[in-house]
Amino acid sequence: MRILVISNSEWDDQGAGGNTLSNWFGGWNNSVFFNVYPRLSLPNNTCCKEYYSVSPFSLIRFFFRPSKVGRRFSVKEQIIVSRHQKKEKKVISWIHKRARGIAYLINDFLYDIVRWQNDKYVRFIKECNPDIVFSFATGDTFRRQNLEYVKQHTHAKIITFVADDVYTIYSDRSSVLMRRYKKNFEDIMYMSDMVYGASEMMCSEYGRLFNIQMKPLYKGCHFMGVKDVINNPLRIVYAGNLQYGRINSLAKIADVLEVINQHTIKCYLEIYTGSDITPEINEKLNRKQSSRICGPRPYETIKQILHQADIVLQVESFEPQQQKIVRFSFSTKITDCMQSGSVLMVIGPKGISSVEYTKNIPGVLLATDPDEIGNLLKNVLNNPMELLSRAKQIHEFSIRNHSLNSVRKALQHDFNEVIRL
């Protein structure tokens, strides 16, 4: 099977998107992967060997010479990270902080007006000769144009995955960019031969909106051993981004722990994140007596840290606007927590897919109201050995429902069925 993956950044196992792709596609026998993406940065994974990169910097640099846009390369080649690639990361970081809206609009227009699907791109697609094109479903023009070209010029079937409730965001905002994204997203939904969703709630809602059949798709677990020793003090670990209001939920946990740890440190929160740390975030989460920000770590290191923790944490915001954004999403952090062998604690409001799903997992520690966090942690500290039995319950559920091999086999089966259509 020949599979072309369309992504919005480099396929890097250290990032959430790249790690998810490798989780699904790693170890596939008799399959060859190709990847088209709009960045200069180099990939880092063991699944895919052949790439085509179309950076916005390339569009600008060769605006009047579009035949030079794009770079085809293989991981077998000796490639040195250039100053342009380092500069791209700095520019992207600056844009995220100061000029996200207008920069994204300009970026989207560039892919619309520059003829980047040139002879080099056409040759790459012909060489790929894909049976399947797989892509996360978002409304950017780069993604839509890739899918349209492949749909028109190859025999490939298109399979997409909706990770977040982006269509609501596009529909609720009236900016030029959001209107473009909304139209592109609708086009992608209707040209897809199969669509996955991040949760059952998302599949139900989006299936109704677009009158299509959707299936939930979760990340598979690569299981660690079950927790059999309790730390003193107890270690709570959060590993993930600080977006969508999660900062305030983490700060609430830190508030509770400061009270608990007034005389003796009994329990501590460690936060591993690659998110930018502003002075405000630092003040909220870097506290001597209750929590500290530990910065980012490689994924394999994070797996070990989660395994060594007593409690692994997933949090969502209690702010209504943030709840609306994440309501249908299923955080991949939950799967990372479930495979760790430690006890999963979930803090978040009712009605969100990630929270609702974990209600069905025996052994999970759950608080659906900020005022419940104090009693939840006090009960844990009053009987810490109970964590061992909870960890075993979670582990057994995860093996039954989220085995990595089972997820990959089911995905391969679906892909083969779509090809036969």
From the list 226, 412, 398, the residue with the least C-alpha distance to 308 is 226
Q: Max alpha carbon distance in the chain (Å)?
A: 70
CATH node for 234-401: 3.40.50.2000
Using the CB atoms, write b or e for 360-369: b if 16+ within 10 Å.
ebebbbebbe
Q: Write down the domain spans for the chain.
A: 2-219+406-420, 234-401
How many beta carbons lie within 10 A of that of residue 66, not counting itself? 16
Q: Which residue has the higher pLDDT, 332 or 152?
A: 152
Q: Check if 2-219+406-420 and 234-401 are the same fold.
A: yes
Q: Which residue has the higher pLDDT, 96 or 164?
A: 164
Question: What gap in Å lies between CA 338 and CA 21, rounded to an integer?
Answer: 18
Question: What gap in Å lies between CA 224 and CA 313, rounded to an integer?
Answer: 17
The segment with the largest mean pLDDT, out of 75-79, 84-88, 357-361, is 357-361
Do 154 and 194 form a contact (C-beta atoms < 8 A)? Answer: no
Residue 299 pLDDT level (bands cut at 50, 70, 90): confident
- Mean pLDDT of all residues in the chain? 91
Residue 347 pLDDT level (bands cut at 50, 70, 90): very high
pLDDT 10s digits, 17-74:
999 999 999 999 899 999 999 998 889 999 999 999 999 988 999 999 999 999 999 9
pLDDT 10s digits, 180-201:
999 999 999 999 999 999 999 9
Q: State both tokens at 281.
A: 């975030």
pLDDT in the model for residue 104:
85
Long-range pairs for 348-352 at CB < 8 Å and ≥24 separation?
A: 348/249, 348/314, 348/315, 348/316, 348/317, 348/318, 349/316, 349/317, 349/318, 349/323, 351/323, 351/327, 352/316, 352/323, 352/326, 352/327
pLDDT in the model for residue 331:
81
pLDDT in the model for residue 78:
47
Residue 16 pLDDT level (bands cut at 50, 70, 90): confident
Question: What gap in Å lies between CA 181 and CA 8, rounded to an integer?
Answer: 14
The arrangement of secondary structure in 2-219+406-420, i.e. its CATH architecture, is 3-Layer(aba) Sandwich (3.40)
pLDDT in the model for residue 46:
92
**To the nearest whole percent, how much of the chain has pLDDT over 70?**
94
> Which region among 102-111, 148-157, 181-190, 345-354 has the lowest average model confidence (pLDDT)?
102-111
pLDDT in the model for residue 79:
53
Do 146 and 128 form a contact (C-beta atoms < 8 A)? Answer: no
Query: Residue 88 pLDDT > 60, yes or no?
Result: no
pLDDT in the model for residue 85:
55
pLDDT 10s digits, 370-398:
999 999 999 999 999 999 999 999 999 99
pLDDT in the model for residue 193:
97
pLDDT 10s digits, 210-231:
999 999 999 999 898 898 899 9
SS (HEC) of the chain: CEEEEECCCCCECCCHHHHHHHHHHCCCCCCEEEEEECCCCCCECCCCCEEEECCHHHHHHCCCCHHHCCEEEECCCCCCCCHHHHHHHHHHHHHHHHCHHHHHHHHHHHHHHCCCCCHHHHHHHHHHCCCEEEEECCCCHHHHHHHHHHHHHCCCEEEEEECCCHHHHHHHCCCHHHHHHHHHHHHHHHHCCEEEECCHHHHHHHHHHHCCCEEECCCCECCCCCCCCCCCCEEEEEECCCCCCHHHHHHHHHHHHHHHCCCCCCEEEEEECCCCCCHHHHHHHCECCCEEECCCCCHHHHHHHHHHCCEEEEECCCCHHHHHHHCCCCCHHHHHHHCCCCEEEEECCCCCHHHHHHCCCCCCEEECCHHHHHHHHHHHHHCCCHHHHHHHHHHHHHHHHHEHHHHHHHHHHHHHHHHHC
Do 201 and 328 form a contact (C-beta atoms < 8 A)? Answer: yes
